[in-house]
Structure 1
Amino acid sequence: MTEGLPMAVPAQGLPPRVRIHEVGARDGLQNEKAVVPTEVKAEFIHRLAHAGLTTIEATSFVRPEWVPQLADAERLFPMLADLGGAPDIELPVLVPNGRGLDRAIALGARRIAVFGSATESFAKANLNRTVDESLAMFEPVVARARDDRMWVRGYLSMCFGDPWEGPVPIHQVVRVAKALRDMGCDELSLGDTIGVATPGHVQTLLAELNEEGVPTDVLAVHFHDTYGQALANTLAALQHGVTTVDASAGGLGGCPYAKSATGNLATEDLVWMLDGLGIETGVDLGRLVATSGWLAERLGRPSPSRTVRALSHKE
């Protein structure tokens, strides 16, 4: 075992490589009480890329009054032009509607995401629309993006539980996932927005999606660690064949519309597990830990990532 790295002991039935979809700069920083300076965000994203992350969700083109922490999207995105031109770096951005897509296209974004909900309560809280109204809003956005040969991700929140409605029926999640897939989303990210999923639930949902014609290779998972289940749920998804996992550097983030949601799965904790399983990610854990430590200093609080804290104490 190298200092700061786990001993690699591969397990059977797992993929050889996982792509980490890093969401800290968007999903993480949007939940900060204080607005993070644009220059700090730009350096954060550059540091993440330097650590080996190749998919880094940069920002969101939402109305500034909705998410003031991301109101600087037009200023930030051009500061990442050197990364966006690299063939191995992807900088997806979130767009809520047609106007958001216009803003993203004007700045040269080539990969976008729309953010839907499996439940009516969260759709109303987040988008002020019903689930079906939300899907109707996304359809022309996805169609325009696909016509422009853009890559489109569909986020599906509240896949396992909802703070107002409780446990979410699997058939309900499958219906909305299929709708997003049918309208043209290249990838679907299944969100455990309030962190209530457990491994059996994860594998059952994935199996049901497969049975209804949604293949595993278009699925990603997005777990929150409210009840300490994020890594266990990730492993369950890997055992099913999922190879794209969302994570947030330093464990940043939650959900501004779901007060019971705590932080996302920390990228460092994920990389520690994947390194230990001998699964390739291309991420340098030491550089990533240093990046999250650097950002934590600027946020004025310690990182919630267990791996960041453990490795920082070794220094």
Structure 2
Amino acid sequence: MSSLPKQVKIVEVGPRDGLQNERENVPAEIKIELVNRLTTAGFQNIEAAAFVSPKWVPQMATSAEVMAAIKRKPGVIYSALTPNMQGFEAALAAKADEVVIFGSASEAFSQKNINCSIAESIARFEGVAKAAKENGIRLRGSISCAFGCPYQGEVPLDAVADVVGRMRDLGCDEIDIADTIGVATPRKTQAVMERAIREFRVDGLSGHFHDTYGQALANIYASLEVGIAIYHSSVSGLGGCPYAKGATGNVATEDVLYMMQGLGIETGIDLDIVVDAGQFISQFLNRKGASRAGNAIAAKRAA
């Protein structure tokens, strides 16, 4: 058995990726409280906002308000999604520590989603990348559909490698390899990650797995085996996947932390505080959280 990393970084994406598809409005004060609870739990990186058109993503319309009011902890990276220069300017004004740009590894997905080729979509981020560097802001690139696409099915390894190379050339500090529709299985995961490692340093690559088919934890373990030590997760499993009807979205943070604890891998995060945060947001949304570990721990406490 290959040796696993001794410690990993967990990027908490619940406040942005997790909440953005919620139909009912989540007020700014609830988002602020959620981010503050996650900060207290010990996350090094929290995706807190998205500076996108409120017409397309109404849930993120309060991003500036949220960024202005959260209690920031020194050393914690508070990230914001920025699809264009207008978004970047807003993120800069909001004092984001990191801006996130995104592209797809699937040509069909890129055309359907944003009506342009992968190459064109990445080229659009050149201005954002340059401005981030000039302003000393971290730049993260996110690659969707790296393991499969709702329109074209299989995504070739070379297509993933090509986008990793383009993101690297833009100057990304970190690159996320995302299973947007949650179709990956462990061997496929390792093949994709090993191909990505040939294009970018392993300590700058992260795994972003959705749990649509219940494979996310297995895929994280498979990624650990090839040396990936950054993972994205969402408190209480927040976030639906709009391309797979009725599917769960991001892997739940509590489940990832429970597994890391069992493996003896350091995260620096307090699982109990994350469970509380998960219960808090689930109660607000008036539904049971999607984290099995979170629900089990909460039930055990209540017993």
- The alignment's TM-score, normalised by the length of structure 1, stands at 0.92
For residues 261-300 of structure 1, the aligned pairs below 5 Å read 261-300=247-286
Deviations 1:148-173 (A, max 9, x none): 11100000000011111101111111
Once residues 140 and 238 of structure 2 are traced to their aligned partners in structure 1, the CA distance between those partners, rounded to angstroms, is 21
Match of residue 253 from structure 1: 239
Q: Which amino acid aligns with 2:62?
A: D
Q: Which amino acid aligns with 2:283?
A: E
Match of residue 296 from structure 2: 310
Deviations 1:196-224 (A, max 9, x none): 1111111111222233x322111000000
CA contact (8 A) 2:179 2:208 kept: yes
Once residues 50 and 249 of structure 2 are traced to their aligned partners in structure 1, the CA distance between those partners, rounded to angstroms, is 18
1:56 matches 2:43: no
Shift of 1:257: 5.5
For residues 1-315 of structure 1, the aligned pairs below 5 Å read 13-80=3-70, 82-83=71-72, 86-211=73-198, 213-256=199-242, 259=245, 261-314=247-300, 315=302
SS in structure 2 of the partner of residue 200 of structure 1: helix
Q: Which amino acid aligns with 1:61?
A: F
Once residues 81 and 60 of structure 2 are traced to their aligned partners in structure 1, the CA distance between those partners, rounded to angstroms, is 11
CA contact (8 A) 2:147 2:179 kept: yes
Deviations 1:64-94 (A, max 9, x none): 00100111112111012x31xx322110111
CA contact (8 A) 1:224 1:254 kept: no
* Aligned Cα root-mean-square deviation (Å): 1.4
SS in structure 2 of the partner of residue 308 of structure 1: helix
CA contact (8 A) 1:126 1:257 kept: no
| 1:174–1:259 distance in 2 versus 1, CA, 3 Å | farther
SS in structure 2 of the partner of residue 161 of structure 1: coil
Shift of 1:30: 0.2
| 1:237–1:201 distance in 2 versus 1, CA, 3 Å | same
Once residues 173 and 305 of structure 1 are traced to their aligned partners in structure 2, the CA distance between those partners, rounded to angstroms, is 30
Deviations 1:203-260 (A, max 9, x none): 111222233x322111000000111110010011111111100000000113445657
Once residues 44 and 200 of structure 1 are traced to their aligned partners in structure 2, the CA distance between those partners, rounded to angstroms, is 35
Once residues 97 and 259 of structure 1 are traced to their aligned partners in structure 2, the CA distance between those partners, rounded to angstroms, is 29
- The alignment's TM-score, normalised by the length of structure 2, stands at 0.96
Q: Which amino acid aligns with 2:184?
A: A
CA contact (8 A) 1:125 1:257 kept: no
Once residues 108 and 248 of structure 2 are traced to their aligned partners in structure 1, the CA distance between those partners, rounded to angstroms, is 19
Deviations 1:23-65 (A, max 9, x none): 0000000011111010000000001111122211001000100
For structure 1, which runs of at least 5 residues remain unmatched after alignment?
1-10
SS in structure 1 of the partner of residue 280 of structure 2: helix
Pairs aligned (count):
301
Shift of 1:12: 5.9
SS in structure 2 of the partner of residue 189 of structure 1: strand
Once residues 104 and 124 of structure 1 are traced to their aligned partners in structure 2, the CA distance between those partners, rounded to angstroms, is 27
CA contact (8 A) 2:181 2:243 kept: no
